[in-house]
Amino acid sequence: MKSVALHNLGCKVNAYELDVMRQMLEEGGYRIVPFEEAADIYIVNTCTVTNIADRKSRQMLHRAKKQNPDAVVVAVGCYVQTREDICRDSSIDLAIGNNKKKELLPILEAYLQEREAGMADQTMGNRIISDLSRPVPYEEMQLRDTSGHTRAFLKIQDGCNQFCSYCIIPFARGRVRSRRPEDVYREAEALADAGYQEIVLTGIHISSYGMDFIKEQGAAGDLRQEAYRQGYLLRLIRDLSGIRGLARIRLGSLEPRIITEEFAESLAGIREVCPHFHLSLQSGCDATLKRMNRHYLASEYYEKVKLLRTFFDLPAITTDVIVGFPGESEAEFAETERFLEQVGFYEMHVFKYSRRQGTAAAAMPDQVPDEVKVRRSERLLELERRQSRRYRESLIGKEAEILWEEPEDADGRTYMTGYTREYVRAALLMQEPLSNRLQKRKITGFLQENTVLVQ
């Protein structure tokens, strides 16, 4: 029985796909071991969203080969898809791109047979990818178990048609392709039967869920736009909410344009939908948004936030912000900072702009120096800490539903920790194990900066 060590980098979609690959390997008779141990095979599910992600992917692949020079090191995913020269790296024996992850087992076993026969020649290029520059079918995979304890990611969509000027992901993941509703439902039902009370709907651009179905049906114009804004995704959420044992449906990142009054009101009418919404912003300055090829104004974004706050009580609004985009002046950055103050987020993920070859932004003039990016990032991270604290304080004295996960020691005592429907981390002085139980508790204060205390 050969041993396999796996490591994931990047997004929730990657996490889901690695869980499926782990499941396939176990069913194929492989023994899964921690990545830190010596293994016969190392598999790294790579990321390429930023230059740092590229570097981390390379580091983990090199680390694997260093741990066992005789091991087979397999690079999988986005970094593979965008790097034609990847097999020139002597640390990598086999490279498998996106939309080929379902074929991991036969590809790996064919390579192992060739290697044992002395036929596996790295210089010939062991890079196996799909051509994602054209439409391809959705890569159907079924996950029955996950590495998480109480929450399961459920992939409903792949690819992106947006082509934001800074983003390499449409080239790494290809065009929008949606998973058939019946396949999503079957997997969610199986996960609920296995005891998972919360699922997180994830994809590369889940707001586009169903767009390819509309195209298949030959519809266009207003009908397609309406489907984009709410139709197929909302119908899927409604269907999933009827699954017995499924208490929570958490949504992955949403495009602001999908939030209409009808969509927000409909979501609020589904008890299982968590009041936690990640609306990708990137900049609060209209001029910067235009250069980014984002298709909304800051004022339109704010209207979407207000809609969510109209139909949900204290929803947690989170976002992404890029600092140092090409041409971002001090005045434009100040405009973004003022806008972020105006909106008031629960959490912000702040990224320094990363120049990606092959994107429109890479060729733009007025690239911002790294030291300026660092300074601006630090300012927004401090703002994020203040806003996050303010949001948590607004919940003190309120009752919250918590899905308990695991014990944790703090201040010499043991607490149960879990998450509210708003995705606020909560802790309770432990008297008994409560893992995977839902409870309503009153928020009384703070245990730590990022953790509220309940009783």
Residue 123 pLDDT level (bands cut at 50, 70, 90): very low
Mean per-residue pLDDT for 1-29?
96
Q: b/e per residue, 90-114, with b = 16+ CB within 10 A? A: ebbbbbbbbbbbbebeebbeebbee
To 10 degrees, the CA torsion angle through 187, 193, 195, 198? 40
Which of 32-46, 59-73, 145-159, 227-241 is the least confident region? 227-241
What residue type is assigned to position 180 of the chain? R
Angle between helices 232-241 and 181-193 (to 10 degrees): 30
CA distances from 136 to 130, 158, 181, 247, 422 (A): 8, 10, 18, 34, 36
Q: What is the pLDDT of residue 361?
A: 98
Average pLDDT, the chain: 94
How many Å apart are CA 139 and CA 136, to the nearest integer?
Answer: 9
**How buried is 315 (Cβ within 10 angstroms: 0-12 exposed, 13-18 middle, 19+ buried)?**
buried
Percentage of residues in the chain with pLDDT exceeding 70?
95
Question: CB within 8 A of 368, min separation 6: which ones?
Answer: 324, 325, 326, 327, 328, 353
Instruction: Please give the pLDDT value at position 69.
Output: 96
How many other β-carbons are positioned within 10 Å of the β-carbon of residue 445? Answer: 12
pLDDT tens profile 399-413: 999 999 999 999 999
Which three-class secondary structure string do you get for 289-345? HHHHCCCCCHHHHHHHHHHHHHHCCCCEEEEEEEECCCCCCHHHHHHHHHHHHHHCC
Where does 68-168 have alpha helices with state H? 78-82, 104-116
At a CB cut-off of 8 Å and minimum separation 6, what does 176 contact?
A: 157, 158, 159, 160, 161, 205, 208, 211, 212
295, two tokens: 């298709």
Q: How far is CA 44 from the centre of its chain?
A: 17
pLDDT at position 244 is 97
Average pLDDT over residues 276-281: 98
d(CA 344, CA 299): 14
> DSSP state, 451?
E
pLDDT of amino acid 118: 80
Q: Which residues does 305 contact at the CB level (< 8 Å), separation at least 6?
A: 279, 317, 343
pLDDT classification of 122: cutoffs 50, 70, 90:
low
Statement: residue 102 has pLDDT above 90: yes
